[in-house]
Structure 1
């Protein structure tokens, strides 16, 4: 039974993670819209009738289309995003007076999924020279039919659902029952179930309320930093051992950085502290309700700085009172629990961190900074560090401490004279061209399934791992910094054809004769028994994971600048070049 519950919990978490993957990349647009609303509507900081005309088009058209495009792209790259966004226009046009954010979160992924299925059927059957025609018209027809479905089918359903949820929220607010939401939200945060609620329901409803009245209390239900801050303050005064020593740093990360998960292990170490979080959250919501407070946009992440940016004119004192009330109540309750109950030791903090990660179904981005222990990891035999060009810190959202870890390792490489790209990414956005991927332990299996060809390094804590120094030493031994630049600039005479997995025909637009050339080479490879991906692309859309890039001579330099690590072949004519037969023979020898 417990395994069944855990499975359901993981599915809900995965669903919330997918929703946040649609919303989080577009949070900047939500913030920009919130700032425009806060400043230029008739009750804003600087009322301006002309500039205020941007408010409605952004919430009605821009934000839903961005969400739909992102959702479609997550499933079927750019084509899926284009189909998803186009189809969403049907939902928007059906009810232009209601922001269709929920409709976009349905139609975007649906468009991407159907585009992927259509491509799976058509692409293997496209005749040479018809690639551009079939690709454009298949996507166009699919978008056309989905837009009609959105207008006549999905639009009315989403409109009804949005109105129902809006009425439900109104009833709860009018009855003064909104603080009760903390009973569900605060425990959900510890179990990482809040994404489905926050990004799936609260943000769309709050955005519509902002459009009507310029602010919404719904933005504060989950994001108030007060409850967690109060608990960490209580640990700073009444805690013991490691918990007390780490609480000040955790408090800063939580309150200023807005990364709430840093305090979850402190609650799991003493589960009764969830009462402090619930009462603190309810106190903050009650204060905001009584003083009629709301934010003009999402406070993402839930930082005091984000609250300051999203607070409407003249309501800063109200905002501070709500956060202070939540902090004070959670502090007093947590202090009483810590003072009059048995304290646990350092081992329990480590156990609680692991328990949190097990409950969440994924590794915490920052909680590992509370503990130092790491399990030994077997060294991967035979990995070639000489060819490492790209290292990725991968986590669920691609933000937070993974970005900080990437910055730390980048600085280490810079001091050591290593010219290696280090960045961070969400796991579901890994491209496949990564050489080394660093993840926290409970996410390593997902990353391995996504990019099985990379070397994977598991750590307990992105911010502090001895494996970074071990990796640095391995790379320094194998890569001579003095020779790295020279080797990069020299002609790759020793190009390894045995590792070629992707050949791209690149031109200005990524269409026309490049598609025909790709079709010709694909047929040559098929007859030769070579299972190698051959496709075409615009030069400015090259992803960096290409092994061989074929361009016409006048464009070769641009392609080399875009992807310097690939082997580049220049031709006079995409449709007839002796290089194709030479390349096929070379590949047959080595593969």
Structure 2
């Protein structure tokens, strides 16, 4: 089986819906604080609110609330849609895209007066930013020096003007009609008592990470309309109700077996109190029949809110019991609390029946060493499209029980050239700072894994390939390489091995030390240098692989392909690669993303593209408007890599350590010119 093909993320309709949902949630989630603030204003000061002149508790009524209630309508009609629009525009084309998106959204808001324009904002915001981006491509690189600000300001102003007019005359009527249709459809489901059937779609969608398109695309906008009209909406609890997940995890705590039973109590606390619902998804994938229990539990919760005419005043995000109670509308507490308890109870009972029916088979499978939960965790991360710190904790629970001695830790990636070198550098530093002895941390290509590793760290998409090469090793999956929480879990495991107990204080201390300065002319330290495929450190001084000509700063944004093209062009101009290297960089992104976290991407070619590499060089490009790298990741710094031998590896490890420090990243972002940015990189950061 081709290793390139085997690592590709699943495609098709599910991936498309997931990406669409991620884009929608990317506009809503950064502004949840504003929704919460609006919910508090609504709950307290509207006439029927807790402090309102018609509130449920006479002793709390306050005549001054009438004036404060005037804040409620403008907040939901103007502020929230404009925040959504600005966020969406900013994702597409940086700050200026956000400004133009907000201007265009005013056309929708005014043109559809009386309708809550969340949906309109989700269209107009990123849409206007995209128009600005396309327009400015026409003269990109052709503006004479000194006229950039003039052209940029007027182009954005004109685009904002015309898109605002278009939104007023054309988009507003369409969105108003769409909102009316959706509202009537949901109203019909409520009036006929069929709204609980929504759980048949929502609960399976949650497990597959497809819920955001439904929740933020439909429920939140319609819920806002209902909350404005009647003071609350049950739609906010169709997806966010923590009861079904809590009932499932409690059933596993009592009647589960093996790793599922051992990890379920901790998962319950994370899910019910912390609101991180994805923690229970692997348990469902390990035993899919439990999905029936979740559907029945979710439907019973919705039915309870329907019966009691109860709901929330604003979205509860994350779906924690605390967030739910805070956003509960006055007079709705009984119904909301019962909806959580009843949905948990129904899910618990139905899950228990399924668990008892299969208990003998489950016990036999556990005794035979089958670890369905670990495989389900890997599948869940593939569904999500990237690693998860909370799911990594579930996988780590199984690893922590292993009795084998860990001496050889290997970071593995497809080529062993970029991401693995950076990750190995970060983890090696943490291991050294924790005072752990007798453990080596190196990096390799997956193809060069030879069965000698005790613990292998890979990106989530590559873990299964690494398991095939190192079936007897422990495996840890990570997402972002800069501040991956799994690093501290590995360090804690190594401390437990060395000292006989997990010393959490020492593990936490590893994150507090200052990172060393980047030195682009230093010799590698033989004691800590990353191993090559042959396990040898390079000799002599490290060549200078980054020159001033290879550092650039752009005020705007770019697409991922545009960033790859620019990075490849810089490397080719430096004589480090041939013209074929760009396609190899694109092929790498199709298999495994090179986004490292903390705003850093390190694009490089595939292992098969070695013939296109002539020497070692780095290209550092800063896009102040950001580069949408996929799956909601936005890169500010793009570090293109071409590596011949190991000349670039020490530098990459230093870069990784630096990008794990927020203060250092802030200074790199604050550099005003390429010369200043290069000087910071070249001379080191204090």
CA distance in 2, matches of 1:466, 1:536: 31
CA distance in 1, matches of 2:9, 2:419: 42
- Of 419, 438, 461, the residue aligned with 1:442 is 461
Where does residue 26 of structure 1 map in the other structure? 31
CA distance in 1, matches of 2:304, 2:81: 32
Residue-by-residue CA offset, 1:310-330 (whole Å, 9 max, x unaligned): 012343232211111001111
User: Gaps (5+ residues) in structure 1?
Assistant: 392-407, 417-437, 445-456, 474-479, 511-525, 548-559, 571-578
Assess if the C-alpha contact under 8 Å between 2:297 and 2:345 holds in 1.
yes
How far did residue 123 of structure 1 move? 2.2
Structure 2 matches for 1:214-363, cutoff 5 A? 214-342=231-359, 343-344=361-362, 345=366, 347-363=371-387
Assess if the C-alpha contact under 8 Å between 2:77 and 2:116 holds in 1.
yes
Cα gap change, 1:469 to 1:123, in 2 (>3 Å): same
Structure 2 matches for 1:135-174, cutoff 5 A? 135-174=152-191
Residue-by-residue CA offset, 1:114-154 (whole Å, 9 max, x unaligned): 12212222222212222111111111111111001100000
Assess if the C-alpha contact under 8 Å between 1:231 and 1:277 holds in 2.
yes
Assess if the C-alpha contact under 8 Å between 1:366 and 1:463 holds in 2.
no
How far did residue 357 of structure 1 move? 3.2
Assess if the C-alpha contact under 8 Å between 1:280 and 1:328 holds in 2.
yes
CA distance in 1, matches of 2:621, 2:486: 41
Residue-by-residue CA offset, 1:368-387 (whole Å, 9 max, x unaligned): 32223789643786879999
Residue-by-residue CA offset, 1:2-34 (whole Å, 9 max, x unaligned): x99951111100110111111110111111111
Assess if the C-alpha contact under 8 Å between 1:225 and 1:303 holds in 2.
yes
Cα gap change, 1:534 to 1:266, in 2 (>3 Å): closer
- Higher mean alpha-carbon deviation, 102-111 vs 308-317, is at 308-317
Structure 2 matches for 1:543-558, cutoff 5 A? none
CA distance in 2, matches of 1:545, 1:41: 46
How far did residue 302 of structure 1 move? 0.7
CA distance in 2, matches of 1:244, 1:536: 47
Task: Kindly indicate whether residue 12 of structure 2 is the aligned counterpart of residue 7 of structure 1.
Answer: yes
How far did residue 537 of structure 1 move? 8.8
Assess if the C-alpha contact under 8 Å between 2:85 and 2:125 holds in 1.
yes
Where does residue 92 of structure 1 map in the other structure? 109
Residue-by-residue CA offset, 1:530-579 (whole Å, 9 max, x unaligned): 999999999xxxx99699xxxxxxxxxxxx99965699899xxxxxxxx9
Where does residue 371 of structure 1 map in the other structure? 395
How far did residue 212 of structure 1 move? 1.1
Assess if the C-alpha contact under 8 Å between 1:84 and 1:143 holds in 2.
yes
CA distance in 2, matches of 1:301, 1:86: 30
CA distance in 1, matches of 2:305, 2:46: 22
- Higher mean alpha-carbon deviation, 254-263 vs 309-318, is at 309-318
- Of 47, 51, 65, the residue aligned with 2:68 is 51
CA distance in 2, matches of 1:59, 1:336: 45
Task: Kindly indicate whether residue 498 of structure 2 is the aligned counterpart of residue 498 of structure 1.
Answer: no
Assess if the C-alpha contact under 8 Å between 1:441 and 1:458 holds in 2.
yes
CA distance in 1, matches of 2:207, 2:253: 20
CA distance in 2, matches of 1:459, 1:321: 38
- Higher mean alpha-carbon deviation, 40-49 vs 458-467, is at 458-467
- Higher mean alpha-carbon deviation, 187-196 vs 127-136, is at 127-136
SS where residue 222 of structure 1 aligns?
helix
CA distance in 2, matches of 1:239, 1:459: 27
Where does residue 551 of structure 1 map in the other structure? none
Where does residue 35 of structure 1 map in the other structure? 40
CA distance in 2, matches of 1:214, 1:412: 54
Cα gap change, 1:495 to 1:35, in 2 (>3 Å): farther
Assess if the C-alpha contact under 8 Å between 1:227 and 1:326 holds in 2.
yes
Residue-by-residue CA offset, 1:310-363 (whole Å, 9 max, x unaligned): 012343232211111001111000001101124433511112222333444444
- Higher mean alpha-carbon deviation, 350-359 vs 175-184, is at 350-359
Where does residue 453 of structure 1 map in the other structure? none
SS where residue 84 of structure 1 aligns?
helix
Assess if the C-alpha contact under 8 Å between 1:362 and 1:443 holds in 2.
no
TM-score (normalizing by structure 2): 0.61
How far did residue 463 of structure 1 move? 4.8
Cα gap change, 1:485 to 1:464, in 2 (>3 Å): closer
Where does residue 659 of structure 2 map in the other structure? none
Residue-by-residue CA offset, 1:428-462 (whole Å, 9 max, x unaligned): xxxxxxxxxx9851399xxxxxxxxxxxx952895
Cα gap change, 1:413 to 1:281, in 2 (>3 Å): farther
CA distance in 1, matches of 2:458, 2:99: 31
SS where residue 109 of structure 1 aligns?
helix
Instruction: Give the structure with the higher percent helix.
Output: 1
Cα gap change, 1:131 to 1:440, in 2 (>3 Å): same
User: Gaps (5+ residues) in structure 2?
Assistant: 1-7, 53-64, 400-408, 436-456, 464-475, 496-509, 523-541, 557-569, 576-618, 626-634, 640-662
Cα gap change, 1:536 to 1:223, in 2 (>3 Å): closer
Where does residue 520 of structure 1 map in the other structure? none
CA distance in 2, matches of 1:201, 1:569: 42
CA distance in 2, matches of 1:387, 1:366: 23
How far did residue 470 of structure 1 move? 11
SS where residue 176 of structure 1 aligns?
coil
Where does residue 652 of structure 2 map in the other structure? none
Number of positions where the alignment pairs a residue of Structure 1 with one of Structure 2: 486
How far did residue 415 of structure 1 move? 7.2
How far did residue 472 of structure 1 move? 12
Cα gap change, 1:188 to 1:127, in 2 (>3 Å): same
Where does residue 121 of structure 1 map in the other structure? 138
Assess if the C-alpha contact under 8 Å between 1:40 and 1:51 holds in 2.
yes
- Higher mean alpha-carbon deviation, 285-294 vs 495-504, is at 495-504
Cα gap change, 1:536 to 1:132, in 2 (>3 Å): farther
Assess if the C-alpha contact under 8 Å between 2:430 and 2:491 holds in 1.
no
Cα gap change, 1:140 to 1:184, in 2 (>3 Å): same
- Of 89, 92, 95, the residue aligned with 1:78 is 95
Assess if the C-alpha contact under 8 Å between 2:388 and 2:478 holds in 1.
no
Assess if the C-alpha contact under 8 Å between 1:369 and 1:463 holds in 2.
no
